[in-house]
Structure 1
Amino acid sequence: MTARFLEALLAADRPLVMEVKRRDAHGYDLLGGRTPVAIVESYEAAGAPCISVVTGRWFGGTPALLRDVAALTDLPLLQKDFITRRDQLKTAVELGASAVLLTAALLPRSSMRTLITAALGNGLTPFVEVTEESELDGLPHTDECVIAVNNKDIKAKESDRGNLDRSLALLPALQAAGTPCPVSASAIDSPLAAARLLDAGFAGLLVGTSLLRTASASAWLDELDRARNSSVAARKA
């Protein structure tokens, strides 16, 4: 069994899951004429600990995109799609994933428990996504899971602007649930917002659209470093 994805995120100085996504929730192209090769290379140059690959059709994804990214990098990969069946877990492994998204808002409690256990049995880190505290009830193996707060509304196909206060409000519940890696995901639109979440105690962030729209992922990360250093200096003053 392996926990490559979880371990990579926890060990990173800049614990960002950087995302490969073809379109945003409104259908706008995010690649801007770039190839997945160019995106992955920019993330590796920026020191990405791991990469999320959106294979869900809402965002123009396909399973082939995950397979293609896996052929380009040795970094641990998260498959972002609507995983609802055990056979999808085996396919994720075959395509090169190290972790899979499991969305609490879309899965019955019994299915979530079954899929978390089955994912671990297939060597995959469960990336459990929640939007409210009640969705944490009864989750098994939380010490082996990434648990992430989705700052957007899944029922609106994530077409809203999102609410980072949801992450801040739910962070204590994530920590109490036992995950070693609480994550804030989606709607993180600037390095300043990212710094705020990391300073609050999140062990990782998932950032997609903001990084894909910037001219340089490395420059975005450098700005994050400056924001975090400024915050530390302000606390010491």
Structure 2
Amino acid sequence: MTSRFVEALVGADRPVVMEVKRRTSDGSELLGDRTVAQVVAAFEAEGAPCLSVVTGRWFGGSEALLAEVAALTTLPILRKDFVTSGAGLARSRDLGASAVLLTSALLAHSTLGRLVDRALALGLTPFVEVVTEEEALRVPRAGECVVAVNNKDIRARERGAAELERSGNLLAAVRRGGTPCPVSASGIEDPSDAAKLLQRGYAGLLVGTGLLRRVTLRDWCQEFDRHRAAADPPPRQPGTGQAST
């Protein structure tokens, strides 16, 4: 099955899923005086390949927010919430989602398998979130899923500092699981950290608070681009096997 969400992300110049989120987990407002339409337009202007919309109430989200974003853009959209049933998957699709978050830590393995099957049958990309090596290796039908390492602790409502080293530690297991699209998600605020995660081998990133807290989104994106360019090896000259100087 071809996933529009995955194709858009892995084919992007900036493979960053940019997230629409009203509040942080501790209740701090993120949109300020910006409208949802202004945030979506800014993300599109900076080349976002996909959007994420947080509908969970911890973060001030709602289904209405997902529907609003879906009416504003043609980009693939991830619904971020605790979806635990087939009805929730169908509702996500009807509201305009292209992908849906499934949190491995909150679901029995058999339930996760049923939800992955159902999501795929509905034309949704399962965006399966993991935090341990065991979870990473046991994602059902991983070859048809995005598998995302959450750098924060969902059991603590994602409060506290991010553990970006978790993404580094779990990448090999995520890749062994078979996903075509490993993603590092949550807690990525510094553009240099974002660039390093891609250099290590992640196909994409999910960034929300780090973007929304910036006065100018373009500044974050341009700094990200500079760090990526600095990390890339120089091009090799044809037939020499040597880097150009």
Mapping 1:89-168, distance limit 5 Å? 89-168=89-168
How far is the alpha carbon of 1:213 from its aligned partner? 0.5
Q: 1:234, 1:158 → 2: CA distance?
A: 39
**Match of residue 60 from structure 1:** 60
**Match of residue 207 from structure 1:** 207
Q: SS of 1:148's equivalent?
A: strand
Q: 1:175, 1:151 → 2: CA distance?
A: 17
Q: Which amino acid aligns with 1:21?
A: K
Task: Say whether the 8 Å CA contact 2:19–2:208 is kept in structure 1.
Answer: yes
How far is the alpha carbon of 1:185 from its aligned partner? 0.3
Cα gap change, 1:96/1:232 in structure 2, threshold over 3 Å: closer, same or farther?
same
How far is the alpha carbon of 1:10 from its aligned partner? 1.1
How far is the alpha carbon of 1:176 from its aligned partner? 0.6
Q: 1:43, 1:3 → 2: CA distance?
A: 21
**Match of residue 48 from structure 2:** 48
User: Which structure 2 segments of 5+ residues have no match?
Assistant: 236-242
With normalisation by structure 2, the TM-score equals 0.94
Q: Which amino acid aligns with 1:154?
A: I
Once superposed, which parts of structure 1, at least 4 consecutive aligned residues long, lie more than 4 Å away?
233-237
How far is the alpha carbon of 1:234 from its aligned partner? 8.4
Q: Which amino acid aligns with 2:130?
A: V
How far is the alpha carbon of 1:4 from its aligned partner? 1.1
Moved more, 213-222 or 200-209: 213-222
Render the CA deviation track for 1:71-97: whole Å, top value 9, x for unaligned.
000000000000000000110011000
Q: 2:217, 2:138 → 1: CA distance?
A: 38
**Match of residue 226 from structure 1:** 226
Task: Say whether the 8 Å CA contact 2:22–2:59 is kept in structure 1.
Answer: yes
Q: Which amino acid aligns with 2:99?
A: A
Task: Say whether the 8 Å CA contact 1:2–1:123 is kept in structure 2.
Answer: no
**Match of residue 13 from structure 1:** 13
How far is the alpha carbon of 1:233 from its aligned partner? 5.0
How far is the alpha carbon of 1:139 from its aligned partner? 2.4
Count of aligned pairs between the two proteins: 237
User: Which structure 1 segments of 5+ residues have no match?
Assistant: none
> Pairwise CA RMSD of aligned residues?
1.5
With normalisation by structure 1, the TM-score equals 0.97
**Match of residue 35 from structure 2:** 35
How far is the alpha carbon of 1:113 from its aligned partner? 0.5
Q: Which amino acid aligns with 1:20?
A: V
Task: Say whether the 8 Å CA contact 2:9–2:50 is kept in structure 1.
Answer: yes
Moved more, 53-62 or 136-145: 136-145
Q: Which amino acid aligns with 1:145?
A: C
Q: Relative contact order: is structure 1 or structure 2 higher (C-alpha 8 Å, sep ≥ 6)? A: 1
Q: SS of 1:65's equivalent?
A: helix
